[in-house]
Amino acid sequence: MAENVDVTRRDGVEEIVFDRVDKKNALTLQMYSDAATALEEASKSDEVRCVLISGGGGHFTSGNDLLDFMQNPPTDESSPVFRFLLALRGCRCPVVAAIDGYAIGIGTTMLLHCDLAWATKEAKFRMPFVDLGLIPEAGSSVVLPSMAGHRKAAELLYFSDFFDSETARDVGLVNGVVDGDVIAFAKDKAHTLAQKPPKALQMTKELLRRGDDAAVQEAMRKEATLFVERLQSPEFMEAVQQFQS
């Protein structure tokens, strides 16, 4: 078992659970690495027909562990966070997400690369990059406007405010809002997909993404370069100091 990331396989579904409950599943570099490995292996395996991502303890993820992130900042595509994002984007089988509680930062932007997602009424989303002196990540500068429209994407990214599940549904981040156990609901959907003809499902995913995949990956790499630069900026340092005070 990976540290703070639980990975199990059953009946064609690989479940990846962020399990750092005491920190609301804030992601460390080791967690990114373990989740990336799980996604890479799932993509290669004929046994895995669908991936389900969720969080333990009533939260999806509160985003990056800032202390860990500052001590070991990403430098290039080999860094765990970028490796995770590329593995998520490149996963050949459908990826389903179940969101409860906090989905902050990458907890929101990773949903742009999941094929299906459902959230509880209590889920809270946020992309706080500008408030941290940073820039959008994970291709969100391209994918989010294409889903939500330029003005709504600008509103969510510029102001960095929390938004609810209904807004997440309206902008296309989630398929719907679940009244009850969202993980059980999403797990049922994942197992339904796992029973379908796998090659047909994979090819359908490839066709759905063929029009924008090159542009999205280019955006992810451009954002990554700028993101690394911003981690050295006075604005970011000041924002972190305010956060920790």
Find, among 82, 61, 221, 209, the residue nearest to 146 by Cα.
209
What local confidence, expressed as pLDDT, does residue 228 receive?
82
What local confidence, expressed as pLDDT, does residue 212 receive?
76
CA angle 214, 117, 219 (to 5 degrees): 20
Neighbouring CB atoms inside 10 A of 163's CB total 19
What local confidence, expressed as pLDDT, does residue 227 receive?
85
What local confidence, expressed as pLDDT, does residue 244 receive?
64
What local confidence, expressed as pLDDT, does residue 86 receive?
92
Q: Where are the domains of the chain?
A: 5-184+217-226
Q: Domain 5-184+217-226: which topology?
A: 2-enoyl-CoA Hydratase; Chain A, domain 1 (3.90.226)
Instruction: In whole angstroms, give the CA distance from residue 34 to residue 45.
Output: 17
Residues in the chain, pLDDT under 50: none
What local confidence, expressed as pLDDT, does residue 216 receive?
87
